[in-house]
Structure 1
Amino acid sequence: MEYDISREQVENTYIKIKNHIIKTPVIYATKLSNITSFKLRGALSKMMALEPAIIKKGVVAASAGNHSQGVSFAANLLNVPATIVMPKTAPISKINATKNYGVEVILHGDFFDDANKKALEIAKTEDKVFVHAFNDLDVIIGQGTIGIEILEDLKEVDYILVPIGGGGILSGIASYVKAVNPNCKLIGVQSQNVPSYYEARKTNQAFQVQGKLSIADGIAVKQTGDITFSILNKYVDDVILVSEAEIAETILFLFENCKIVAEGAGAVTTAAMLFNKLNVKNKKIVCVLSGGNIDVTTFLNITNRALINQRRRVVLKIDAPLGHGHLTKITNVVDSHGVQIHKISDSQLENSLEVNREIIRLVVDINRKTELANIVIDLEKLGYTVMEKEFINSITK
């Protein structure tokens, strides 16, 4: 079956829901134009389209995080009970944020698809309305209102990049934007770890990919919906994959350069630009950032990995004699080059370590390669052995 959405449907839905949503701003940054969004639109569109007698029994939804909060907010607004099923792997910040709406939260499975199956069972057993995260026309129309706001702020946009898991947001935006500006290119962006739509486009058929855990948990959907697949194939020009490392580095980039805290799913579109996946120049490009639900622990873990990947954070392992004063000498060398020490530890629990010696481990944040090279030279002048020299030399070249 083929599905489609008209420009008028999106515009009429926007009139209904606009008093309950915050207009998504288009923010100009030095290198990127960014859009932040929240999945209230689709949930509110769906639930406001239901008859009061039907919705009063309650709603059930499944989500890795953002849709769950959209449904919960809409349920409170419309005064109906809600049950949300989330994967056990969902970030604690998203779980707690959903619970804060006073809804029932059930954790089930590792992926969205597992949680979705459980939610369908609950909806059937308890005779409640199931609000799908993406594979529903009313939800898609609601998400399409983002397209209205993009074109209000940037009429002559050349490319719009949208994160894609199940495809609800991209289907909605693409349907509206192509109706208003057919020349605009719509590009989906997925994680390499869960490339469901990317693989489906190859065979022109939606199917379930195996998938791996991803820091872009909000789009970790193993199978595109049949409704969204039909719409995506009409309007989407291409789909791009980004790696976990690229997503991590982009989260750090957005925080440092744009003062935006983005979750993994929200960062994929900027990652596509940052790592030149689109390969275009001198075009007006909008990157939709679809979420900022990332807890502090996850953010620190991801940015730590990004700093290490960029060789801005380096682990120095120094073979030193046991005894007083060595740690002070070593830290003084690092300090003399203006380098910040992130963490210090020492241990005798190392393979092939001689008697009466220890390994002093410094995690340092460097600004320039020359700083690291000079630190190594000065430590060796003092008689210390810097281990893993081949790796250190690869950084300082």
Structure 2
Amino acid sequence: MTDVAAGPGAVRIPTLADIEVARDALRGVSIYTPMEESRWLSGTAGGPVLIKAENLQRTGSFKIRGAYLRMSRLSPAEKRAGVVAASAGNHAQGVALAAQMLGIHATVYMPEGAPIPKEKATRGYGAEVRFHGHSVDEALVAAKQFAHETGAVLIHPFDHFDIVAGQGTCGLEILEQCPEVKTVIASAGGGGFLAGIATAVKGLRPDVRVVGVQAEGAAAYPASLEQGVPVPLGKMSTMADGIAVGCPGEVPFAAIQQYVDQIVTVSEESLSRALLMLLERAKLVVEPAGAAAVAAMLDDPTAFETPAVVVLSGGNVDPLLLMRVIRHGMAAAGRYLVFRARIPDVPGGLAQLLNEIAGVSANVLDVVHERTSASLHLDEVEVQLQVETRGVEHADRVLAHLRACGYAIAQ
């Protein structure tokens, strides 16, 4: 193990050797998840891009790696006392399954509004679920209080030596599956996953560039790294609940300071577009946080030396959220076009407009009439249309055609 900084306040972070030991402990527990080249990402980046599918890991994310390792090392007395965790869902499921496998009682605090499938899966593994607060950070406060009152052992989602070491086993697999890799891109919330991967990768291949990705609305690492200490965010707003963490953990922060080359952020639109593309092109279901690495690649394909590996960190997504994200992703990709058009208020007026839209191979999804407006003439009606197109260029052609036909168009 490595101590970062000297003195009694030094932070212990795992070494490559620690991660290799962790791998032995996880044999038969975590899955050696598949990796395959993505042709569409490779074409975009101009070189080989491979997908590491941790969304196909047990419980649907990488979390079982760290949770099981941490809990397997508890003393008999600690196991009898039970464990407690705080999570929006992925760590909850990892803890719940590890507890089931090890015969430990688990209590999990989840923020209000946590995805229903994640809650049900956590209960399904035998954990007791309680709700507190509106973020993982608030749920963590309640979990710490529960640990203090009951003697249960807190299984932190990212800020522990064993958690980082366990997550680092994914980095060993990446190097085995793609020995020629030049860049590894992975998402980061609290940082345990990124820290573990970076430690393993740099321990074996110091030349490989490691890039972390955060959602713009929950990006605590850029400011923290700039100031040299973990700095909490004042507020967060992102659909990527799996990486919505307000403050880096001390252990992963120390490792990321040492081993990660760059942290980038991605917008909600980029996350939506990446999730949609993974569904359409890779046939893989991921949650918004799980698509963050791909979002970064799509935002700036030439920024990453290939061969590159993008890690899909999780696939536990609420179907209702998935529907909204797909719609959002289609809009971000120019596949949904929303506009207003003025048409004559006469029989057949709307039909003529719809025929013109059909003539340029666009599909009308919704039509809303507006008749009562001071800006309209007595013989006019305004309609708002939502139209499905094949992309930005097609949308531009649709609007150009309608304007050429004499329609007044506004967006």
Deviation, structure 1 residue 370? 2.1
Q: Deviations over 1:178-228 (max 9, x none)?
A: 111121122111111122111111011111111321022111111111111
5+ unaligned residues in a row in structure 1: which ranges? 392-397
Query: 1-side partners of 2:242 and 2:343: how far apart?
Result: 46
Alignment check: 8 A CA contact 1:240 1:277 kept: no
Farther off after superposition, 322-331 or 205-214: 322-331
Query: 1-side partners of 2:95 and 2:372: how far apart?
Result: 52
Query: 1-side partners of 2:67 and 2:184: how far apart?
Result: 22
Letter in 1 for 2:196: G
Farther off after superposition, 176-185 or 296-305: 296-305
Q: Deviations over 1:297-343 (max 9, x none)?
A: 22222232232233321113233455654443332332232211222
Please state if 1:233 is matched with 2:257: yes
Q: 1:277 to 1:132 in 2, by over 3 A?
A: farther
Please state if 1:13 is matched with 2:22: yes
Q: Which residue of 2 aligns with 1:386?
A: 408
Please state if 1:360 is matched with 2:392: no
Farther off after superposition, 189-198 or 317-326: 317-326
Alignment check: 8 A CA contact 2:236 2:246 kept: no
Deviation, structure 1 residue 365? 1.2
Please state if 1:128 is matched with 2:165: no
Matches within 5 A, 1:135-174: 135-174=159-198
Letter in 1 for 2:15: S
* Partner residue of 2:96 out of 72, 80, 93: 72
Query: 1-side partners of 2:120 and 2:378: how far apart?
Result: 50
Secondary structure of residue in 2 paired with 1:286: strand
* Partner residue of 1:221 out of 238, 241, 245: 245
Deviation, structure 1 residue 355? 5.0
Give the length in aligned residue pairs: 383
Q: Which residue of 2 aligns with 1:300?
A: 323
Please state if 1:28 is matched with 2:29: no
Q: 1:139 to 1:351 in 2, by over 3 A?
A: farther
Q: Which residue of 2 aligns with 1:331?
A: 354
Deviation, structure 1 residue 130? 0.7
Q: Deviations over 1:345-371 (max 9, x none)?
A: 334465644557543322111232323
Secondary structure of residue in 1 paired with 2:108: strand
Q: Which residue of 2 aligns with 1:40?
A: 64
Deviation, structure 1 residue 98? 2.3
Alignment check: 8 A CA contact 1:33 1:285 kept: yes
Letter in 2 for 1:345: V
Secondary structure of residue in 2 paired with 1:186: strand
**What TM-score, normalized to structure 2?**
0.87
**What TM-score, normalized to structure 1?**
0.90
Secondary structure of residue in 2 paired with 1:20: coil
Query: 1-side partners of 2:351 and 2:121: how far apart?
Result: 45
Please provide the CA RMSD for this pair.
2.1
Q: 1:124 to 1:159 in 2, by over 3 A?
A: same
Deviation, structure 1 residue 296? 2.3
Letter in 2 for 1:247: L
Please state if 1:316 is matched with 2:339: yes
Deviation, structure 1 residue 278? 6.8
